[in-house]
Structure formats: structure tokens, C-alpha cells
Amino acid sequence: MRAIVIESFGGTEVLLAREVPVPEPGPGELLVRVVASGTNPVEAKIRQSGHWAQIPLPAVLGYDASGVVERAGPGATGFAPGDEVWFTPELVGNRHGTHAEYTVVPATIVARKPANLSHEEAAAVPLAGGTAFEAVVRRLRVGPGDTLLVHGGAGGVGSFAVQIGKAVGARVIATASAVNHDLLRRLGADVCVDYHHANVAEVALRETGGRGVDAVFDTAGGDNIARSIPAARPFARLATILGPTGDLTGLYPRNQTLHGVFLTREAERLRVLARMVEWGEVRPVVAEVLPLADVAQAHRRLDAGHGAGKVVLRV
């Protein structure tokens, strides 16, 4: 089968097109024919230096997929050949990524693909959408009447966070470059903030009448959490997917809670996301679809760290 393999860590030059054997599904696993594979910043970080993720080399990268079940391994239940599925495979220690014609994945973390999405659209959802759902719904417990501040609202995770926040009844303030404000409005953001030219905390306080937001979700990193502490009300909830920098001591006198979010894999979250997609509450933002052979182009975009939406590889 065709696959994109890394045999060492480094720049985009380590992404190698190879013919490799089709993996065999082990106990509890499914063999899936990958139709489309999403790209995410975490795989660029692994490509650069994946020792922290315990990735054995050689390895196939890729942590989002939409495809078709080919065969079930011993004890794998719930799916039959021909079922259209989506999933985000385990990251740590996994050498069977999704940038390949076939991959193996535990059946317990797979769900059926939403019927109203193409495979290319579906492949943009599981990791980023799952991370946003985990943060907004489960950790931050955002609900009707809340005000949610999303840093990086036009990015892969942020674009889902804006939509999920609106779906659960919140008022959403989202940051992005001015060029992406039209996108934020289409996603449902109530207030768009150009972080290059505006003080985000001041805007958040003004928009809440000085009370402060109920929840903050940072998808961009840096000192966003530290700068958001005075913009959040006492007992507010904050979450980040990246290591926060800056002075966080302001959390304590305000009785605020900070959550670090690292996505665990499960099928139930994907089933809920599928319903939200089918009900029209959530839609992926696909910036570009490239052939698998152009994976280096996708990684250069990931390395740059800018741009709206997701790049998907058609396998």
C-alpha cells in the first residue's frame, strides 16, 4: 500500500512516500481503508521531534481519518465490512497513522461517519472537533447564558469551539486576525476581536458589562491564559491545549479553575459530534484538500502556524 513514512525526525524532507505492507488487524482492531486523512499541528511537532510521543520509527503519521471498514480482527465488534467510519487514532506510541491507504485502529474508538459529510470533510473533524467538545462541554461546562471567550477562533480547534459554544447556548467572543472575522461570524461568533490591534481583555470586560466572561478556551498558546485572568469573572473556568506562559497567580484570588486539555480517544464523543453535524450545529472548515503525495505542502502550512480551517489529504 502507499503510505507517507518517516524514518527519522526533522523537517518536511523526512516525509517519504513508500510502498509498505498492509497492516494486519489484531485483537479488537479494525482494518480501515482510508479515504481521507486530516492534518493537525501535533503531527508536525511529532515529525520534528517525536521522542516525547514515544513513536517507534519507521512510522506513518496522521491522526484523523474517514474511511471504510475492510475487515475486523478477532473480537472486534460493532462494525462490518463496508461501514463508513471516522476516528482519531491514539497518538502516543502509535506507528500506524492515517497518512496511508490502510490503517488499523481499535474498534472501541471508532464511530460511524456522519451521513451528510464527504470523507474529506469528515476527516477534518475527529481530533480538532473532539478537542473542542472536550474543552467547551466537558471541562468548561459551558451552557445557556454563559459568555465564552475563544482565543484562535478561526483555527482548526477554535473554529469548532465557536460552533459548539453557540450550539450549547453561549454568547461567544472569538479572536482572530481581521481577515478571518467574516469566517468567525459565519461560524456564529457574536463578537470578533482582532488580537493584533485590540486588548482582548478590555473587549471581553466591555462586552460583559465589567462582569467578565464565564469561560475561556485558549487554542493559540503563549500568555493568552495569563492575560485572560482579569477578563474572566470570579469562579470562571479556563482551559488550554498548549502550555500557558506568563504569571498565572491571578487565578487564585479569583477562585478560577484552569484545565489542561489533552484529548483521550473514545467513540462516544464522536457519536455526539456526528449528531451535532447531522443536525447542522457543527460544520468543519476545510481550507484545502490535497493529494496524499503533497503532504509536505500541508506540513509547511502547519509549521507556519497560521491560516484558517484544516488541510485534508485525499488518500
Closest CA to 167 of 285, 286, 282, 309: 282
CB 163 within 8 A of CB 186: no
Predicted pLDDT at 304: 85
Q: What is the rounded average pLDDT of the residues 116-126?
A: 98
Other residues' Cβ atoms within 10 Å of the Cβ of residue 194 = 15
Does the pLDDT at position 211 exceed 80?
yes
Segment 208-212 shows an average pLDDT of 98
Average the pLDDT over 78-93 and give the result.
Answer: 96
pLDDT in tens, 22-43: 999 999 999 999 999 999 999 9
The predicted pLDDT at position 171 comes to: 98
Domains in the chain (CATH in brackets) are: 2-125+284-314 (3.90.180.10), 128-260 (3.40.50.720)
Rounded CA-CA distance 30/104 in Å is 5
What integer pLDDT is reported at residue 309 of this predicted model?
84
The pLDDT, as a whole number, for residue 172 is: 98
List the beta bridge partners of residue 213. 232
